Structure 1
C-alpha cells in the first residue's frame, strides 16, 4: 500500500485559502489503496500540467480549472458515471467556499472529462482535457506503468472484456482530430501521445 498523501505536499497545491477539510477528503479518496492509475500521483501530474500550461501563457480561469482538476477523478471505481458522481461531489462540497458561478463551472468541466472533447473556444475545458490526457505523451516507462495501473483498476473484468473496452477507448482517442486542444500541448505532446497509443494498440491483448 502506498503511504497516505501528505496534505502539505507541494505537488498537491490546493487553490483555495479555505476548505482544507474538503482537500483532505479528496486526498483520502485519491489515496484509496484499491485505486490503480487514478491515484494521488495522477492528481499531482494533472495539477502539474495545469500549472505548466499556465506558465506557458495559456489563458484560462485558474480557480475553476484547478478545482476541477482536484475533483475530476474524486470518484473512481471502474463503474459508469464516475464523472457525474465526481461533479455531484463538487456541487455538494464547494458552495460557501466559492461563488455559485464557479461551482457550476467546476461541475461542467468535470463532466467534460467523460469525453475530452471541449469546443475550440472553451479554454477552461481545453486546459483540463489536455492536462488529464497528458499521460498519453509520457516516456516509455511511465506509459507502461500507466497501462498496467489502468488494467489493475479493472481487475474485476476478464481479459477479453477489458481488452475490447480498452481498444474502444484508444481507437476513439486516435479518431479525434486533435488529442490536445491548446497550441502548447498539441505542439509538445501530440506526436508522442499518438505514437504511444498506436504502439499499445499494435501490441494487442496482454
Structure 2
C-alpha cells in the first residue's frame, strides 16, 4: 500500500491540473470535497485517495474521454513512482468508474462514485452553486442545447433505482432527488 509520502506527491502532482482557468466546479475544491466525504464516513483508503486526485486530472468539457485520459496520465505518473501494478490497476478502475456509465463493480468503486456524486445530495444552496458552476464550464454550449443535454443528464440520475449505492451515502438520496427535480424544473 502507498505511504503518506506517495499520497503527498500525488496531491502535489495533481493540484496544478485543477487550476486551469476554465474549471469552475472540477477544481481542487471538488477533490477535497470527495476526500472529505470519504474521510467523514471513515472509508477513505490510500487507493481511494489516489483515485480521487486522479479522477478529474484531465478535464475538457468538450470531450467525452476525460476519465480515460485522466487514468492514462495518472497511471503513467504512478508507474514512474514505482507503484505496484495491482494498485495501479485498482486506481485505474476506480477512476474509470467515475464515468458514471455503468454500475460500480466493487465496493471501492461504489464509494468513490457516491463521493463524487455527493454534491447532488448537498443543501439547496450548495447544489445551486454546483449547478451554476457546471453551466459556466459548458458556457460554449448554446442555451437551448445545454438545457436539453443537461436535462438528459439529470433525468438519467433520477431514473436510477438508487443514486447512491453504498450505505454510507444512502442518507443523501432523498435530498439529491429533490435537488435534481428542482434543477430540471429550472431548466424549463
TM-score by length of 2: 0.91
What do residues 153-185 of structure 1 show as CA deviations (whole Å, max 9, x unaligned)? 011111111111111111111111111111121
Partner of 1:32: 20
Separation in 1, partners of 2:157, 2:36: 22
Query: Once the two structures are superposed, what CA deviation does each residue of 1:101-152 show, in whole Å capped at 9, x if it has no partner?
Result: 0100101111111116213xx1101110110000001111111110110001
**How do residues 1-206 of structure 1 correspond to structure 2 at under 5 angstroms?**
16-18=4-6, 20-54=8-42, 58=43, 62-78=45-61, 79-95=63-79, 96-115=81-100, 117-119=103-105, 122-186=106-170, 188-205=171-188
Q: Does the Cα contact within 8 Å between 2:48 and 2:112 map onto a contact in 1?
A: yes
Give CA-to-partner distance per residue, 1:21-57, whole Å, 9 cap, x none. Answer: 5432310111222201101111110010111222xxx
Q: In the aligned structure 2, how far is the partner of 1:181 from the partner of 1:190?
A: 9
CA RMSD, Structure 1 to Structure 2 (Å): 1.8
Q: Using the TM superposition, name which of 88-97 and 162-171 deviates more.
A: 88-97
Q: Give secondary structure in 2 for the equivalent of 1:151.
A: helix
**1:10 corresponds to:** none
- Distance verdict in 2 for CA 1:66–1:21, change over 3 Å: closer
**Equivalent residues, number:** 184
Gaps of 5+ in 2: none
Name whichever of 155-164 and 129-138 sits farther off.
Answer: 155-164
Q: CA deviation digits over 1:66-122, x for unaligned, max 9?
A: 111110111111021001101111210101342110100101111111116213xx1
Report the TM-score when normalising by structure 1: 0.83
Cα distance in 1, alignment partners of residues 8 and 65 from structure 2: 26
